[in-house]
């Protein structure tokens, strides 16, 4: 059982009247994660993730992996250190490499600490000792691991750090047509993943940029701290990156979807990016397969990235208030926080009987690993409740004085959005069961499809 008294959560305590010098710009999510001890700043642009936040990271990794596997992905691990000769072959080192970390070994050989790894993905197929038949394609290989970028100005904590956790997938197909089919399948998995998180997002046409290729889309969370400028249509909801739409003040663009002119600028945090790369990397690296004639032919590639730690921070930025974290339902570190009576209070003996019953029954409903028992009974209920609300637990159940009433014991239940309920034991357990069912619905996306259908019907009726 998870006990708050054993949880390593080194909250940041600032003495009264202390002058705090800010070395970087803070976002709402960064401020809360740091103050509450979920994330600690390491060196400039690096962060230590504490146990409670690590639970959220692990949950998101599991969710990403399940969706990648549904899309036919196979998990691999590629080296973080990649020889610079791989990058030279594709011409990538000829451009701006100021964000790359370059290191040398004791033999003075130069390596690059990968910011993303399509070259490594291509290289795992290159070389004379590996022969791939067209029968083995398509291949969709993904990894989850740290990436590095020497950001000139780190901003907003995990949203723009020098070291971050990323999922990158590389697909290999026999032709552009088949690569397009793979792109549709993986894109559908991305759409499903972001719907499961149930945080408002937009998918936009994007420039291929330094990665190159023929097709590209970005996934954004709309937030004032976003670094991308998007144009969003108020009529149909379409959104596009301003770089692609080429908007100019003297000649405003119309919506490519509905042709309306009501486009407004919003700021977006890019959390995922997909590309069709063609043979940009496979050709120079010699990554080939044997076609139906038995002759070598260049593989056609795709690349698909998700910023694991960035998604979590950006989602918190969108959902949270200034004082309290609010998590995507599937990523909350714990589903339920149970707070028992204060040590030495007159209601303690009777209330603890209810508390022990709830520890068993709530754990059975939501899973014992999803229950956090705040057993720090030397602290008042009010102090523990304040912390629980700031941490953003979806459900916080208080077993206090009203639970000690023999005739009709009442529990105080706090929901993450601020609602407070007084419920009997069975009603509280029903609420826990409903929350668990809501998580299952998110995982199978059934209720999301219903919401979309209802929204579409509503829009159709309005027009």
The total of other beta-carbon atoms located within 10 Å of residue 374's CB is 24
Residues 356-393 pLDDT 10s: 999 999 999 999 999 999 999 999 999 999 999 999 99
| Contact criterion met (CB below 8 Å) for 114 and 121 | no
Going by pLDDT thresholds of 50, 70 and 90, the confidence category of residue 343 is very high
Tell me where in the chain the CATH 3.30.930.10 domain(s) lie.
Answer: 28-319
Domain range 28-319, its CATH number among 3.40.50.2000, 3.30.930.10, 3.30.300.30, 3.30.430.20: 3.30.930.10
Going by pLDDT thresholds of 50, 70 and 90, the confidence category of residue 344 is very high
Helix (H, G, I), strand (E, B) or coil at 127: coil
What is the value of pTM for the model shown?
Answer: 0.88
* pLDDT > 50? residue 455: no
What value does the mean pLDDT take over residues 81-104?
75
Report how far apart the first and last C-alpha atoms of the chain are (Å, whole number). 54
| Contact criterion met (CB below 8 Å) for 230 and 220 | yes
Q: Burial level of 62, CB count in 10 A (0-12/13-18/19+)?
A: exposed
Closest CA to 425 of 345, 357, 363, 329: 357
Q: How far apart are CA 92 and CA 89, in angstroms?
A: 8
Kindly report which listed range (26-30, 75-79, 165-169, 420-424) carries the lowest average pLDDT score.
26-30
* pLDDT > 90? residue 63: yes
Q: How far apart are CA 248 and CA 55, in angstroms?
A: 45
Helix (H, G, I), strand (E, B) or coil at 152: coil
At the top level of CATH, the class of 334-444 is: alpha beta
Q: How far apart are CA 384 and CA 413, in angstroms?
A: 14
- The beta strands (E) that lie in 174-262 are given as 202-205, 215-222, 228-233, 239-241
DSSP 80: S
Percent of the chain with pLDDT strictly greater than 70: 85
| pLDDT reported for residue 375 | 97
How many residues in total does the chain contain? 463
Average pLDDT value for the chain: 87
* pLDDT > 60? residue 451: no
Alpha carbon 222 to its chain's center: 14
Helix (H, G, I), strand (E, B) or coil at 361: helix
Which residues, in sequence order, are CB contacts of 283 under 8 Å at separation 6+?
Answer: 298
Tell me where in the chain the CATH 3.40.50.800 domain(s) lie.
Answer: 334-444
| pLDDT reported for residue 284 | 86
Phi/psi of residue 266, nearest 5 degrees? -135, 160
Q: How far apart are CA 152 and CA 148, in angstroms?
A: 12
Residue 135: C-alpha distances to residues 139, 176, 281, 319 (Å): 10, 16, 21, 46
């Amino acid at each position: 059982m998870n006990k708050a008294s054993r949880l390593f959560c080194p909250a940041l305590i600032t003495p009264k009247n202390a002058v705090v010098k800010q070395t970087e710009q803070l976002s709402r999510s960064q401020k809360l994660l740091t103050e509450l001890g979920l994330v600690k700043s390491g060196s400039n642009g690096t962060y230590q993730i504490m146990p409670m936040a690590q639970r959220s990271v692990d949950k998101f990794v599991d969710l990403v992996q399940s969706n990648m596997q549904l899309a036919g992905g196979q998990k691999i691990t590629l080296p973080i250190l990649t020889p610079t000769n791989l990058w030279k072959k594709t011409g990538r080192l000829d451009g701006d490499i100021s964000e790359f970390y370059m290191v040398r070994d004791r033999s003075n050989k130069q390596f690059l600490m990968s910011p993303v790894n399509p070259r490594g993905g291509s290289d795992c197929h290159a070389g004379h000792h590996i022969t791939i038949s067209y029968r083995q394609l398509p291949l969709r290989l993904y990894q989850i691991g740290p990436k590095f970028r020497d950001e000139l100005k780190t901003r907003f904590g995990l949203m723009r750090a020098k070291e971050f956790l990323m999922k990158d997938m590389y697909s290999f197909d026999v032709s552009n047509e088949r690569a397009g089919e793979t792109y549709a399948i993986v894109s559908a998995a991305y759409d499903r993943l972001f719907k499961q998180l149930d945080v408002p997002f937009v998918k936009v046409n994007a420039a291929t940029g330094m990665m190159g290729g023929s097709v590209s889309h970005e996934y954004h969370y709309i937030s004032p701290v976003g670094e991308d400028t998007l144009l969003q249509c108020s009529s149909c909801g379409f959104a596009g990156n301003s770089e692609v739409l080429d908007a100019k003040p003297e000649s405003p663009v119309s919506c490519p979807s509905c042709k309306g002119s009501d486009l407004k600028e919003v700021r977006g945090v890019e959390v995922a990016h997909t590309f069709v790369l063609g043979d940009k990397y496979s050709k120079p690296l010699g990554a080939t397969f044997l076609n139906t004639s038995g002759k070598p032919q260049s593989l056609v590639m795709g690349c698909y990235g998700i910023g694991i730690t960035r998604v979590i921070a950006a989602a918190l930025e969108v959902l949270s208030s200034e004082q309290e974290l609010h998590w995507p339902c599937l990523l909350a570190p714990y589903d339920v926080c149970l707070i028992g009576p204060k040590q030495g209070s007159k209601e303690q003996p009777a209330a603890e009987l209810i508390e022990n019953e709830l520890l068993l029954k709530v754990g059975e409903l939501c899973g014992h690993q999803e229950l956090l028992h705040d057993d720090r009974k030397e602290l008042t209920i009010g102090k523990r409740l304040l912390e629980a609300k700031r941490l953003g637990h979806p459900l916080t159940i208080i077993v206090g004085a009203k639970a000690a009433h023999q005739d009709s014991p009442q529990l105080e239940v706090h929901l993450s959005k601020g609602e407070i309920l007084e419920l009997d034991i069975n009603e509280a357990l029903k609420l826990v069961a409903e929350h668990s069912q809501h998580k299952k619905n998110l995982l199978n996306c059934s209720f999301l499809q219903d919401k979309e259908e209802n929204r579409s019907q509503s829009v159709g009726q309005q027009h």
